[in-house]
Structure 1
Amino acid sequence: MNVFYKLLLYFQKRGFEVCGRIAERLGIRARVVRTSFIYLTFVTVGFGFALYLFLAFWLKIKDLVYTKRNSVFDL
């Protein structure tokens, strides 16, 4: 057997079984729970990056619109 496969088998049999317990509690397969965790990880990372870009553009536009003027006559 491959070393990676042995390590994977070890963690599947003797791991914390978090996904297995959640799946058992919800009455679904553990594979569905694992893939859901993977997809949620990608979505949350993507959401954080999109939020960062939105805030960066918003601050840039705000700085362009609301520039500090020295006097009332600086238009």
Structure 2
Amino acid sequence: MIQKVLTFFEKQSFGVCTYLGERFRISISKIRLFFIYSSFLAVGFPLIFYVLAAFVLDVRNYVKRIRTRIWDY
């Protein structure tokens, strides 16, 4: 049961922690722990940042896909 929940969250995560980890060369697990601990301390503000970052990354990937399709023709 726990493994199913972990698998679901790993598949559904938006890649924010992975992107930040690769960008700043920090361990992904440290970034995830930062989001978890700071969410408890800051009453959920980092969750709002995470959702906004996920939205921006999703739009950014969408624009890149469209841009490559336009120039392929």
> Shorter-chain TM-score category?
0.3 to 0.5
Which protein shows a greater Rg? 1
- Which has the higher relative contact order, 1 or 2, with Cα contacts under 8 A spaced 6 or more apart? 2
Greater share of helix residues, 1 or 2?
2
**Normalising by the residue count of structure 2, what TM-score does the alignment of the two structures yield?**
0.47
